[in-house]
Structure 1
């Protein structure tokens, strides 16, 4: 039994007890997004208003940053596989700290802001797969949704508080804000240096002695579903700031984010067991329906619509993001860190496509004076694109898979998807 395997008498599917390293890791999962979201949610406004970039250019910058932040996770997972989880997290925090320090330098030479943004995204790409793998190391399958949900809850709590703290200062006093965030990341990195190293759980491989590629063993259907979910969700993530600030205020935009993050904090841990047991097809249908309904509601443009739309979108992503990760872990033969990295790659591809296409479409809507149509178009895609996943599911189901394996993995494994011993 590994370090955090379920002790005798512990109920299945529960989170507690937690050891010291896990408590620190969950605290860090709050502090890291707290610092990040004191800056990053305002990037579209910062680049557009302070640096004078057009919305099309802003969309491209955000697309590249999103691609690096998410897709780079596949490199982070492979790095964790090679040098270990703790050392990967330390390198990631060093890179991200340098990025936030770069925002300070950008106050004197504004073009550096783009490089600093990309650097912080590189740090996030390296960190998250190792963080998630450390969190679920040695945890049996019934308890994994609870541990992943706890990490997501801490993450979203930081994301909720960050904009509230920073909203009044990000444009008026950015220098002090960037200095505080840089100091916060230095402190968190020092704490990670004291974490014990753990070995990565590895699953049986049919790849022989050759080192597997970054996408070897990818779970096809969860990968594709994650890419599509992030593509649609990031219409909301990238462009809500510009849309909401124009119709309400920066403070109200922070309230919308607070509502969304609070829903994740409260609902996802409570629903994690139900989401684990839910048939995958039902989870996809429910998640994309809620996402589409929320995007359509945003088109009304009122404060009530902003709150209601954000809530519906969040309920959709609660189901989609957790279920896709659980399905990927269940169907892939690779280590946890690699699986999470592959899912981050899918997220990055979707977020990048959203930034590039969405920036152009939002710019067109702004010039035409009908930005509400942008949200209606995004909602229509929630109805039209997910059925393509059914075609992929049928194709995967027809492929001959040995050992009675389920559909979705490119590389077969000789268990039912569970890590031996979990």
Structure 2
């Protein structure tokens, strides 16, 4: 893939340029998911067993919360453009802290839990685009992959450690757990209040006016050069969330909840270790090659899961994670490169794509998994998901090429997927 020593050297060189505020943001990128994942992964158990909600109701609540958490990133990006990155992060953390206070109060009044959960997801939706944009603010294209991958590594480390700390206390002492998480968010919010405001970005140059009767490129989410990274991100999250949503019930049935935790720990560790080392290699990959490699890794991992043994669960999780390492980072980098919007809006739109994909996976994947259970062979669910990894990306490219404006007399279409446009920025950015 890439020389680990060279990747580590490049990563150290890039991170050595970090000042105090970005270093604090990287620490926050660990602490915030640490606190969140001390609570959120157990919400289905908490809502069902502690608060007495039916599983059907729990499923609807979690689907709505997930959609809000991902898709609300568009609002977060727009808010960051209006009031600034630091203020947006502060507002998001205040909202999220209020959500955890609401979960604490829900121990006395259970109906409050639904609104509190949605509130925490609103905070996450507002925070992440501004966080990522602040982290790469003023950073050149060469160093952006290292900074983004370091942020992703910190986030995944927090996601891995949080459930290990909180697992014994979710049902036995949820009040103390919610108090501890709330206190952590209060401290992180206070730290963000001391961050300097990011200097305004240079305004993007105006787009060329289209010819009379021609469709203007770049208008809307599914038009122009940034359409493909948006659609590819939605598809990648749709396929990945087959694994995210349904591995638990599949793995626990064949192994144990402890072994399922081990699989998740392996996946988190791979992201933490491999993505920063491979970041520059991923940046240099032509976009078409990155999509091919990423979706092929997903397909291989999902197919291996169908075997159902413990070794297959570990190997499948590893392959899926390696595919996602390429897809998720490359789609973000390509969206930044192609779009004329601010960085915060780009990250917000990519989060929207992730939310749409995750929601579709929850709806369609759930029906398919239920059919597999009824047929007595859930292994077919993973094989069908693997087949989609191989069939849907080519259909995506075909649809994209048909809806993209063809080269005209004034030059090639700036939305085309060509080898020479894989390492620069779209003119005007």
Q: Is the TM value for this pair above 0.5?
A: yes
Query: What is the CA-CA distance between 1:87 and the residue it aligns to?
Result: 0.2
Deviations 1:270-321 (A, max 9, x none): 1111111111111111111111221222233332222222111111110000
Query: What is the CA-CA distance between 1:56 and the residue it aligns to?
Result: 5.2
Contact 1:167–1:251 (CA under 8 A) maintained in structure 2: no
Deviations 1:246-278 (A, max 9, x none): 433333322222111110111001111111111
Quick one: which of 253, 256, 259 aligns to 1:252? 259
1:219 aligns with 2:226: yes
Q: Return the alpha-carbon distance in structure 1 between the equivalents of residues 26 and 111 of structure 2.
A: 35
Quick one: which of 414, 421, 424 aligns to 1:406? 414
Q: Return the alpha-carbon distance in structure 1 between the equivalents of residues 122 and 383 of structure 2.
A: 32
TM-score by length of 2: 0.86
Query: What is the CA-CA distance between 1:369 and the residue it aligns to?
Result: 4.0
Partner SS, residue 203 of structure 1: coil
Q: Return the alpha-carbon distance in structure 2 between the equivalents of residues 279 and 350 of structure 1.
A: 24
Partner SS, residue 370 of structure 1: coil
Query: What is the CA-CA distance between 1:143 and the residue it aligns to?
Result: 0.7
Aligned positions of 1:132-143 closer than 5 A: 132-143=132-143
Q: Return the alpha-carbon distance in structure 1 between the equivalents of residues 253 and 49 of structure 2.
A: 12
Deviations 1:215-266 (A, max 9, x none): 4867100000000001111112222233333433333322222111110111
In structure 2, relative to structure 1, the CA distance for the partners of 1:60 and 1:11 (3 Å cut) is closer
Q: Return the alpha-carbon distance in structure 1 between the equivalents of residues 98 and 257 of structure 2.
A: 27
1:193 aligns with 2:200: no
Q: Return the alpha-carbon distance in structure 2 between the equivalents of residues 13 and 390 of structure 1.
A: 36
Contact 2:339–2:426 (CA under 8 A) maintained in structure 1: no
Contact 2:225–2:415 (CA under 8 A) maintained in structure 1: no
Query: What is the CA-CA distance between 1:214 and the residue it aligns to?
Result: 7.2
Query: What is the CA-CA distance between 1:416 and the residue it aligns to?
Result: 5.5
Contact 1:219–1:408 (CA under 8 A) maintained in structure 2: no
**1:7 corresponding residue in structure 2:** none
Query: What is the CA-CA distance between 1:358 and the residue it aligns to?
Result: 2.2
Partner SS, residue 385 of structure 1: helix
Contact 1:145–1:273 (CA under 8 A) maintained in structure 2: yes
**1:204 corresponding residue in structure 2:** 205
In structure 2, relative to structure 1, the CA distance for the partners of 1:169 and 1:251 (3 Å cut) is farther
Q: Return the alpha-carbon distance in structure 2 between the equivalents of residues 265 and 416 of structure 1.
A: 27
In structure 2, relative to structure 1, the CA distance for the partners of 1:420 and 1:284 (3 Å cut) is same
Quick one: which of 375, 381, 402 aligns to 1:395? 402
Structure 1, unmatched stretches of 5+, are 1-9, 410-414
Contact 1:329–1:339 (CA under 8 A) maintained in structure 2: yes
Deviations 1:133-167 (A, max 9, x none): 00000001111111111111111111111111122
Query: What is the CA-CA distance between 1:52 and the residue it aligns to?
Result: 5.7
Contact 2:206–2:428 (CA under 8 A) maintained in structure 1: no
Quick one: which of 246, 256, 263 aligns to 1:239? 246
Task: After superposing the two structures, state which structure 1 stretch, 52-61 or 356-365, moved more.
Answer: 52-61
1:38 aligns with 2:23: no
**1:3 corresponding residue in structure 2:** none
In structure 2, relative to structure 1, the CA distance for the partners of 1:419 and 1:116 (3 Å cut) is farther
* Alignment length (residue pairs): 404
Partner SS, residue 168 of structure 2: coil
Contact 1:62–1:355 (CA under 8 A) maintained in structure 2: no
Partner SS, residue 353 of structure 2: helix
Contact 2:153–2:276 (CA under 8 A) maintained in structure 1: yes
**2:4 corresponding residue in structure 1:** none
Aligned positions of 1:145-294 closer than 5 A: 145-201=145-201, 202-206=203-207, 215=221, 219-294=226-301
**1:332 corresponding residue in structure 2:** 339
In structure 2, relative to structure 1, the CA distance for the partners of 1:361 and 1:57 (3 Å cut) is farther
1:315 aligns with 2:322: yes
Q: Return the alpha-carbon distance in structure 2 between the equivalents of residues 62 and 257 of structure 1.
A: 20
Q: Return the alpha-carbon distance in structure 1 between the equivalents of residues 22 and 136 of structure 2.
A: 10
Partner SS, residue 14 of structure 1: helix
**1:116 corresponding residue in structure 2:** 116
Task: After superposing the two structures, state which structure 1 stretch, 76-85 or 152-161, moved more.
Answer: 152-161
In structure 2, relative to structure 1, the CA distance for the partners of 1:374 and 1:105 (3 Å cut) is farther
In structure 2, relative to structure 1, the CA distance for the partners of 1:34 and 1:83 (3 Å cut) is same
Partner SS, residue 14 of structure 2: coil
TM-score by length of 1: 0.87
**1:61 corresponding residue in structure 2:** 61
